């Protein structure tokens, strides 16, 4: 099993939105970074743990826990000319962008970015590195356990 941190802007898709969705599952649409796409396409597996992170908001941080709920498949927004995620170079025969479904398992208290920075065990966490802008980053098992302890979530 692997672990991931996935960023979402709460005004677009929040942990509450996912929990309110049928079966608490949503497709993770709109990823337009090749490295993040490759994580979904090549490395993420059903059952992998996900830290649901609210970004680009007044109080960014981990807002919930989720799991990868599907294998990768083409992101339909790349084909929709009305979508902000439209990609004119993508075709049905040769999609450029993939997505996975995410199943929200628990809303947690907000573990803010400053709080994450306070923990020595999280000092090397990719989301805390200067200049990191990736919407999906790997999380080590030790980082996962530390965060689960802090959020009082059984592992």
Classify residue 70: in a domain, yes or no. Answer: yes
| CATH code (residue 136) | 3.10.590.10
pLDDT at residue number 61: 97
Q: What is the arrangement of strands in the sheet containing 101-112, beginning at the earlier edge strand?
A: 25-27, 101-112, 61-68, 49-54, 3-8, 136-139
Pick from 133, 153, 155: nearest CA to 5: 133
Classify residue 31: in a domain, yes or no. Answer: yes
Q: Please give the residue range of the domain that contains residue 86.
A: 3-150
pLDDT at residue number 51: 98
Classify residue 122: in a domain, yes or no. Answer: yes
Rg of the chain over all Cα atoms, to the nearest angstrom = 15
Classify residue 66: in a domain, yes or no. Answer: yes
pLDDT at residue number 150: 95
Classify residue 155: in a domain, yes or no. Answer: no
Q: Rounding to the nearest 10 degrees, give the CA dihedral for residues 41, 9, 143, 48.
A: -40
Per DSSP, the residues of 85-109 read: T--TT--SSS---EE-EEEEEEEEE
Give pLDDT tens digits for 71-85: 999 999 999 999 999
One pLDDT digit (tens) per residue for the chain, 155 residues: 999 999 999 999 999 999 999 999 999 999 999 999 999 999 999 999 999 999 999 999 999 999 999 999 999 999 999 999 999 999 999 999 999 999 999 999 999 999 999 999 999 999 999 888 899 999 999 999 999 999 999 87
Please name every residue paired with 80 in a beta bridge, in sequence order, or none if there are none. none
pLDDT at residue number 155: 77
Answer for the pair 131, 86: CB distance below 8 angstroms, yes or no. no
């Amino acid at each position: 099993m692997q672990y991931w941190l996935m960023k979402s802007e709460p005004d677009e898709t929040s942990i509450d939105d996912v929990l309110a969705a049928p079966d608490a599952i949503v497709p993770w649409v709109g990823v337009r970074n090749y490295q993040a796409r490759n994580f979904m396409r090549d490395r993420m597996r059903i059952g992998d743990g996900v830290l649901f992170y609210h970004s680009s908001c007044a109080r960014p941080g981990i807002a919930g826990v989720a799991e990868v709920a599907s294998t990768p498949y083409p992101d339909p927004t790349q084909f929709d000319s009305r979508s902000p995620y439209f990609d004119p170079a993508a075709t049905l025969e040769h999609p450029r962008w993939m997505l996975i479904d995410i199943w929200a398992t628990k809303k947690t208290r907000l573990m803010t970015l400053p709080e994450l920075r306070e923990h020595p065990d999280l000092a090397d966490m990719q989301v805390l590195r200067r200049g990191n802008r990736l919407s999906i980053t790997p999380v080590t098992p030790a980082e996962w356990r530390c965060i689960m302890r802090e959020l009082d979530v059984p592992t």
